[in-house]
Amino acid sequence: MKIRLARIAHARSGDKGDRADIGLFAYDAPTYAVLKRAVTVERVAAHFAWLGTTSVDRYPLDNLLALKFVLNGALSGGAARSLRSDNLGKTVGAALLRMEIDIDETDAAALPRLAGEAHDG
Amino acid sequence: MKSVRIGAGLGFYGDSWLPIRATLERGDVQYIASDHLSELTLAILRKDMVKDPSAGYTRDLVPMLTALWPLAAARGVRFVLNAGGLNPRGAAAALIAALRAKGMRAKIAVVTGDDVLDRIDVLRTAGDALRHMDTGAGIDTVRDQLVFANAYLGAQPIARALAAGADIVLTGRVADAALSLGPIVHELGWTFEARSQPEWDRLALGLTVGHLLECSGQGSGGNFGSAEAWSTIPDLGHIGYPIAEVREDGVAIVTKAPQTGGRVSFDTVRQQLLYEVQDPHAYFSPDVVLDMGTLRLTDLGSDRVDVRGATGIPRPPQLKIVAGYEDGWMGHAVIGFCWPDAWRKAQATVALVEQALREQKQPIEEIRVEYLGLDTFLGPHADLAAREQMNEIWLRMAVRTRDRRVAEAFPRQFPWLALSGPPYMGGFHGIAPASQLLGVWPTLAARAHIESGVNVHIEEVA
């Protein structure tokens, strides 16, 4: 089944120079294990190719149940020379929460926030 | 055991200082650490200073402290603020005049030496190439377009100012977290000259605390990036900015004033912890480098989170400088279209404007088109199923050009469409002024070349 990250995680993004950065946080430990496996550098790079992202760095933080992503080259050269409405990359975290990942029934059963929800994708 | 309580001040120039009142009245703090400078605020302040050489500091300083200083002084609370911007001495002069006029007393310290714009060539002669940290390009390529260049100073001059008895410490550019780390080191008797791992670790914990406080309400449930969960954060209208209690053994509790809105929890604190961090295992500051990988955050309930376990790495031999340079102009315009065919009419308008720009041979380097309300933020991840039947849509067009006059003239491509373009256009709010675009130049310079120019000056309002 496919689930959208917004159902199982939260995220905040910001800027530094020409980089957008996103903290992606699992609400619980079983979900973190799934995120760590499914939300790869390759998937995030493809997800944000439209921003002109040149490369993506990923840092798993087991102590925070979090994945840190840095999108290099994603801000049109930086907030103050960008033509975008969201020149600061504040909404990039929301765009990451739109990502869908594939999980199997075993994973789904282990994720607390999906318990009780219909398996409607 | 010794401890110190520090409350967050502002998180940027333009932020609200009203929540600081609750922190002063009910938060039992000894310090307010207030961050007025985002990466590019100095560019705004340079424009102010060109018009008026006595300006160049953030203008919220005087009204904020005029309102809050009586509350703080009565409780012995001290302020550390980077509101000095490009002109900390001018900020102090304005503040002193305002406090005198109200009959208030204060001992004010001014930290200077971060502004290196007029020392760029000296630094280069001294052996600092000032290459762009990402591209490796030499600073000569933008030398004549530079509008500011400031080094990120650390917490040491702030701690020196406090040791000299200052009630209010005004700085220019310092590392945001230094605004808290200075009071922490001063109060807890720590040393910046760490010799052992535990000494580096506790500095790193102080840096962690400073980072958690530097964005005001973002550390206590504001801007909680989530679907639905944000709506469970109580009473954002009366949000309590975060407060940290730091113990001398290197443990902190993050909390907020009683009877305030917002939330301090594992979720809200860790969102702020990773905010605008590049490598979490090497979070640089002028005083210590922090590895967040060993931090332990424990939610104690009742808006209290225990923070401990920071790992410190010795500070780097170089300091970071961020310079800004002029990099062209942006002209932009927004107009609205009503159903029917709202999206198709907006697209037709884009084609008409692009055609006009081509026919007029306007020197434009880039055109940005956004359909506000449709896909501006989500791009290809937006749900586009309803776009043919939208009730209304807003078109925003922005252009990049080297020529200020071209940017200023750009919005004039739109008014004629009201009578001669697609129907049911509305909401053109006039000719928006052109915006100057700025590039950012992050670079490194030897610590000694910067620190030799740092000065702490104290003035008393008696």
Confidence at residue A121, expressed as pLDDT on a 0 to 100 scale: 39
Domain ranges of chain B: 3-114+152-316, 323-440
> CA-to-CA distance for A83 and A64, rounded, in angstroms?
34
Residues of A with CB under 8 A from a CB of B: 6-7, 10-19, 21, 23, 25, 27, 47, 50-51, 57, 59, 61, 63-66, 68, 70, 77-81, 83-86, 91, 93-95, 97-99
Torsion over CA: B50, B51, B57, B60 (sign)? negative
The answer to whether the Cβ–Cβ distance between A11 and B39 falls below 8 Å is: no
> CA-to-CA distance for B178 and B176, rounded, in angstroms?
5
Ramachandran region, residue B85 (left: φ > 0; alpha: ψ -120 to 50; beta: rest): left
* CATH at A97: 3.30.70
Considering chain B, what is the average pLDDT of its residues? 96
The single-letter code of the amino acid at A13 is: S
Domain count, chain A: 1
- Asked if the ipTM is above 0.90, the reply is yes
Question: How far away is chain A from the Cα of B290, in angstroms, using its nearest Cα?
Answer: 14
Q: What percent of chain B has a predicted confidence (pLDDT) above 90? A: 93
The answer to whether the Cβ–Cβ distance between B293 and A61 falls below 8 Å is: yes
The answer to whether the Cβ–Cβ distance between A81 and B439 falls below 8 Å is: yes
- Residues paired with residue B444 on neighbouring β-strands, in sequence order: B320
Residues in chain A within 8 Å Cβ distance of B383:
none
Query: Is the per-residue pLDDT at B314 higher than 50?
Result: yes
Could you tell me if B425 and B417 are in contact, meaning their C-beta atoms sit under 8 angstroms apart? yes
Concatenated DSSP letters for B139-176? GGGGGGGEEEEEE-B-SHHHHHHHHTT-SEEE-SSB-T
Model confidence pLDDT, tens digit, residues B38-86: 888 998 999 899 899 999 999 999 999 999 999 999 999 999 999 999 9
- Domain extent, residue A99, equals 2-77+88-114
Query: Does residue A64 fall inside a structural domain?
Result: yes
Please tell me whether residue B120 adopts helix, strand or coil conformation.
helix
The answer to whether the Cβ–Cβ distance between A23 and B271 falls below 8 Å is: yes
Model confidence pLDDT, tens digit, residues B285-305: 999 999 999 999 999 999 999
The single-letter code of the amino acid at A47 is: H
Query: Does residue A12 fall inside a structural domain?
Result: yes
Question: How far away is chain B from the Cα of A64, in angstroms, using its nearest Cα?
Answer: 7
Query: Does residue A119 fall inside a structural domain?
Result: no
Q: Which CATH code of 3.40.1000, 3.90.550, 3.30.70, 3.30.450 fits the domain covering B323-440?
A: 3.30.70
Residues in chain A within 8 Å Cβ distance of B440:
17-18, 78, 80-81
